């Protein structure tokens, strides 16, 4: 019943990796992390939600707020969404068309698939 | 599905208790034999309604508990969320968001459209004595149009 949040720098991108549940109780931590990155000058932010078990409209609102902030900095906020039940929430609210969405962190970072 | 007795929960109107309701309702839906998609729908819908209830109760500066009741009858699960808060004007329902729009005034009004997109029936009514009762019905199987 909690949210783990890690921020890392990968090339020119800032990555927020989330694990757990994003709701009205935990979303303020995500909001603060996004504000800190944008105020620190980050332009390319990736939010990795591969291990998010739960997302509600509070979390959506925070992501939209983050997108607005980073766009005013001429940057972009990309999302990694791999689970159908999370994608469904973006589809219902129409936000799937608002965020650049990627099926893996590697895709979001623009890396070519690794050779085996 | 198995018909079960009603499950009733009272929570303090605080954000940290919404997860508690979500997990109890999820477990209730699983115990009643709902399919995994319907379990997820129940968890998300009750979280949305409870979050709204907590916010409007805080706005009214009251410490009155938020009341949640769930029951399963046949192929339908009904979840009721009651508060004694003060609702502002109902959030405008966003039919479609223009993809290129940078007008994010909709961001605070996502909850009700999300509930409406998730459950099969939703009803909002004013309660005697103030506050709102949200009634949400989830039917197993494909949604009815």
**pLDDT at position B56, please?**
86
Scanning A28-47 for CB atoms below 8 A from B yields none
pLDDT in tens, B68-126: 999 998 889 999 999 998 765 544 434 444 434 444 344 457 888 899 999 999 999 99
Whether residues A60 and B107 touch (CB distance < 8 A) is answered with yes
**Among B128, B91, B59, B30, which residue's Cα sits nearest to residue A57?**
B91
Helix, strand, coil percentages, rounded to 5, for chain A: 40, 30, 30
DSSP-assigned letters across all residues of B4-16: ---EEEEE-SSGG
Distance from CA of B100 to the nearest CA of A (A): 7
Is residue A9 helix, strand or coil?
strand
- Kindly list the structural domains of chain B, giving each domain's residue range(s) and its CATH number in brackets, ordered by start: 7-139 (3.30.565.10)
Distance from CA of A103 to the nearest CA of B (A): 20
Q: In chain A, what residues touch B20 (CB-CB under 8 Å)?
A: 1
**pLDDT at position A113, please?**
52
Distance from CA of B133 to the nearest CA of A (A): 19
What DSSP designation does B42 have?
A: H
Task: Give the pLDDT band (50/70/90) at residue A89.
Answer: very high
Q: In chain B, what residues touch A95 (CB-CB under 8 Å)?
A: 97
DSSP-assigned letters across all residues of A29-84: HHHHHHHHHHHTT--EEEEEEEEEEEE-HHHHHHHHHHHHHHHHTT-EEEEE---H
Supply the ipTM of this predicted assembly: 0.88
Reported in sequence order, the residue ranges of chain B that DSSP labels E, i.e. its strands, are 7-11, 66-73, 76-82, 121-126, 132-139
Q: Would you say residue A70 has pLDDT above 90?
A: yes
Q: State the Cα–Cα distance between residues B1 and A81, nearest whole angstrom.
A: 32
What DSSP designation does B62 have?
A: -
Whether residues A65 and B44 touch (CB distance < 8 A) is answered with no
- Kindly list the structural domains of chain A, giving each domain's residue range(s) and its CATH number in brackets, ordered by start: 3-104 (3.30.750.24)
Q: State the Cα–Cα distance between residues B135 and B125, nearest whole angstrom.
A: 8
Q: State the Cα–Cα distance between residues B87 and B109, nearest whole angstrom.
A: 13
Whether residues A57 and B40 touch (CB distance < 8 A) is answered with no
Task: Give the pLDDT band (50/70/90) at residue B60.
Answer: confident
**Among A24, A29, A22, A27, which residue's Cα sits nearest to residue A7?**
A29
Whether residues B22 and A94 touch (CB distance < 8 A) is answered with no
Chain A to chain B, count of Cβ pairs less than 8 Å apart?
A: 71
Closest Cβ–Cβ partner in A25, A64, A67 for B19 = A25
Whether residues B15 and A25 touch (CB distance < 8 A) is answered with yes
């Amino acid at each position: 019943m909690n949210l783990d949040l890690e921020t890392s720098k990968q090339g020119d991108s800032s990555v927020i990796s989330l694990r757990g549940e994003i709701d009205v109780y935990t979303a303020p931590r995500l909001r603060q992390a996004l504000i800190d990155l944008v105020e620190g000058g980050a332009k390319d932010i990736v939010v990795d939600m591969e291990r998010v078990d739960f997302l509600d409209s509070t979390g959506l609102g925070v992501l939209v707020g983050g997108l607005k902030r980073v766009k005013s900095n001429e940057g972009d906020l990309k999302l990694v969404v791999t689970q159908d039940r999370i994608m469904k929430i973006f589809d219902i609210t129409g936000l799937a068309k608002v965020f650049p969405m990627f099926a893996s962190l590697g895709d979001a970072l623009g890396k070519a698939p690794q050779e085996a | 599905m198995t018909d079960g007795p009603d499950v009733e929960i009272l929570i303090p109107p605080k954000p940290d208790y919404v997860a508690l309701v979500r997990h109890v309702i999820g477990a209730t839906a699983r115990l009643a034999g709902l399919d995994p998609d319907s379990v997820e729908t129940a968890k998300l819908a009750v979280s949305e309604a409870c979050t709204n209830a907590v916010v409007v109760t805080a706005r009214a500066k009251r410490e009155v508990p938020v009341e949640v009741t769930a029951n399963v009858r046949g192929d339908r699960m009904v979840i009721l969320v009651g508060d004694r808060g003060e609702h502002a004007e109902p959030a405008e329902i966003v039919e479609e968001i223009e993809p290129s729009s940078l007008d994010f005034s909709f961001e605070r009004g996502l909850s009700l459209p999300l509930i409406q997109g998730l459950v099969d029936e939703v009803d909002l009514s004013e309660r005697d004595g103030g506050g709102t009762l949200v009634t949400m019905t989830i039917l197993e199987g494909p949604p009815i149009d």
